[in-house]
Amino acid sequence: MLSRRNNILVRQTTGTGKTLGLVIALLSYSLQPSSNTAVLVVPNRELALQIEGWADKLLQRAYPEIKPRYRVLQRFVSGSPYESEQKRVLKRHGLPKIVVGTPRCLLEMAPVFDDVLVDTVVVDEIDAVLKLPGKYASTKQVLLRKEKPAPGQLFIEHLLGIDTGMINQREIIEGRGMQQVRLKKVRLDRSKIKKKDEAKEENGGGGGGGSVVVRELGRRREVQLVVSSATANHRLRNLIGARQWVSKPLVVLRDTEAIGMPSDTQHFCLVIDNEESIRNIAPRIVSDDENHQDDLVVSSYARYQERKKQADKQNPWVSDVMRRSSEQQATVMQLMAEVASNVLQAIQPRGTTILFVRSDANSRQFADVLRSYGVVARDIMTRYSDQPADGGEEAGIVYLATEEAARGIDIPDTELVLILDVPKSISSYVHLSGRTGRFGRTGKVLTVVPVGRHGWYESKMQAIFGSLQITPQNAPFVE
């Protein structure tokens, strides 16, 4: 795959082996003497450490003579136990053939790459690495993101030799629903570009017939780009095109046109009513009325924001735990722990459970509360930092995670994904639920949401299920 030097976008269902495939391809390519340095960017430490573990095992089996392993692959992540070791290895051995790292950490060490020939850049979970504004982001958020690109974008563009100071005007049409202000801006900018271009042509400057934007961006290196995610959307592709990350078109490898979901996963959703009783989500009523809009597809951004604000105000537990007083936080945690322990008792998973919460700031405290309910709970990072025994996971373990920390990770025996939160978007739900039912295995996903003002959260869940063509099942243990 890598030897052909195509630029590739892999978009396939979660748990189908995208990351493992990329790691194997990178290892076999990098072990060829003619290859140069390859960089693999991943969105979180957990995934970087997981990949390091995989590479270790693969190398031990296939190339036991290669020692130490960090001559071939080294991960670079933030955090005190890792940084000093990484610095030492870097100083002593220089960069290995494959560098795996998180965006922030790689950006910090970006100058190190200036003296090295990088010929391959692989970005796994590219949407999480680039953190582009979502469908319902405000104009302010979109413009802010343009002014301040995510560390992942800055690092990748540094490697590609793209001047990140220059904002490509075409980027403004990044594929979001157009808004008046931005349309005007695009027209203005385009006319400016045209004039500038004509002026340069008259002066005989530039050559090559490209637009001024192309010349301003000016690529420094010919690097092969491979990007992957189960939810790589058109906004991403537009950015890659507009920022000229590739000179040849992307070859797209995908299993379905729509977002694919593992077929052997069962989905459940429980709703906490305002009286704090729990029930199964109501079936979705599809209206024939053309004016009817799903809550996820409201016509105006302002209307969406207003309704969301109203609902969040009344969200009894998960909306923003950190902004609450410590007393409120404790009550929320008790409620979450009670719900989680009841669900776990009813389902009794023998395998691993991943329990998603919105913020990990209090996850240690939350793990303590859960333990007081008899649940064996640990923060997900401990799975990677505490060097688990090769025998697999502790029976019935519950890992606490956030969407950011668990993006792309693979714990094969995950039987249950428990989401105590309202997923941010359809693609959030795809990735959260995708931690189970991996590589042909079965799995269960159970989401618990408050009903929300005027049923906001319930209809948001109904809309998510509708878009993904999922029919949630009724949990038999709920009346």
Q: How far is the CB of 417 from ligand ATP (least distance, A)?
A: 12
Residue 410 as a binder of ligand ATP (CB under 6 A): the answer is yes
By CB under 6 A, which span of 9-17, 200-208, 337-345, 362-370 interacts with ligand ATP?
9-17
Q: CB nearer to ligand ATP: give 133 or 437.
A: 437
Residue 73 as a binder of ligand ATP (CB under 6 A): the answer is no
Residue 438 as a binder of ligand ATP (CB under 6 A): the answer is yes
Q: How far is the CB of 17 from ligand ATP (least distance, A)?
A: 3
Residue 96 as a binder of ligand ATP (CB under 6 A): the answer is no
Contact characters 130-149, ligand ATP, x per CB under 6 A: --------------------
Q: How far is the CB of 280 from ligand ATP (least distance, A)?
A: 27
Residue 35 as a binder of ligand ATP (CB under 6 A): the answer is no
Residue 15 as a binder of ligand ATP (CB under 6 A): the answer is yes
Sheet-wide strand order for 7-11: 73-76, 98-101, 37-41, 118-124, 224-228, 7-11, 250-254
Q: How far is the CB of 412 from ligand ATP (least distance, A)?
A: 4
Residue 434 as a binder of ligand ATP (CB under 6 A): the answer is yes
List the one residue from 88, 439, 454, 474 that touches ligand ATP (CB under 6 A): 439
Residue 14 as a binder of ligand ATP (CB under 6 A): the answer is yes
Q: CB nearer to ligand ATP: give 14 or 265.
A: 14
For residue 130, what are the contacts with CB-CB under 8 A and spacing of at least 6?
A: 150, 152, 153, 236, 239
Q: How far is the CB of 124 from ligand ATP (least distance, A)?
A: 7
Bridge partners for 416 per DSSP:
353, 444
Residue 17 as a binder of ligand ATP (CB under 6 A): the answer is yes
> Token digits for 32?
């060829």
Number of chain residues interacting with ligand ATP (CB under 6 A)? 14
State the SS3 of the chain: CCCCCCEEEEECCCCCCHHHHHHHHHHHHHCCCCCCEEEEECCCHHHHHHHHHHHHHHHHHHCCCCCCHHHCEEEECCCHHHHHHHHHHHHHHCCCCEEEECHHHHHHCHHHHHHCCEEEEEEECHHHHHCCCCCCCCHHHHHHHHHCCCHHHHHHHHHHCCCCCCCCHHHHHCCCCCCHHHHHHHHHHHHHHHHHHHHHHHCCCCCCCCCHHHHHHCCCCCCEEEEECCCCCHHHHHHHHHCCCCCCCEEEEECCCCCCCCCCEEEEEEEECCCCCEEECCCCCCCCCCCCCCHHHCCCHHHHHHHHHHHHHCCCCCCCHHHCCHHHHHHHHHHHHHHHHHHHHHHCCCCEEEEECCCCCCHHHHHHHHHHCCCCEEECHHHHHCCCCCCCCCCCCEEEECHHHHCCCCCCCEEEEEECCCCCCHHHHHHHHCCCCHHHCCEEEEEEEECCHHHHHHHHHHHHHHHCCCCCECCCCCC
By CB under 6 A, which span of 8-16, 103-111, 208-216, 235-243 interacts with ligand ATP?
8-16
Residue 372 φ then ψ, to 5°: -65, -15
Residue 302 φ then ψ, to 5°: -60, -40
Q: CB nearer to ligand ATP: give 255 or 306.
A: 255
Residue 62 as a binder of ligand ATP (CB under 6 A): the answer is no
> Token digits for 367?
């793990």
Q: CB nearer to ligand ATP: give 124 or 421.
A: 124
Q: CB nearer to ligand ATP: give 18 or 358.
A: 18
Chain positions 203 to 262 lying near ligand ATP, rule: CB under 6 A, are 230
Q: How far is the CB of 13 from ligand ATP (least distance, A)?
A: 7
Q: How far is the CB of 440 from ligand ATP (least distance, A)?
A: 8
Could you tell me the sign of the dihedral formed by the alpha carbons of 298, 299, 303, 305, in that order? positive
By CB under 6 A, which span of 35-43, 171-179, 311-319, 408-416 interacts with ligand ATP?
408-416
Residue 19 as a binder of ligand ATP (CB under 6 A): the answer is yes
Nearest residue (beta carbon) to ligand ATP: 17
Q: CB nearer to ligand ATP: give 79 or 412.
A: 412
List the one residue from 2, 8, 9, 16 that touches ligand ATP (CB under 6 A): 16
Q: Count the Cβ atoms, other than its own, within 10 Å of residue 205.
A: 10
Q: How far is the CB of 127 from ligand ATP (least distance, A)?
A: 11
Residue 43 as a binder of ligand ATP (CB under 6 A): the answer is no
Chain positions 316 to 335 lying near ligand ATP, rule: CB under 6 A, are none
Contact characters 362-401, ligand ATP, x per CB under 6 A: ----------------------------------------
Q: CB nearer to ligand ATP: give 94 or 412.
A: 412
Report the interface residues with ligand ATP, using CB under 6 A: 14-20, 230, 408, 410, 412, 434, 438-439
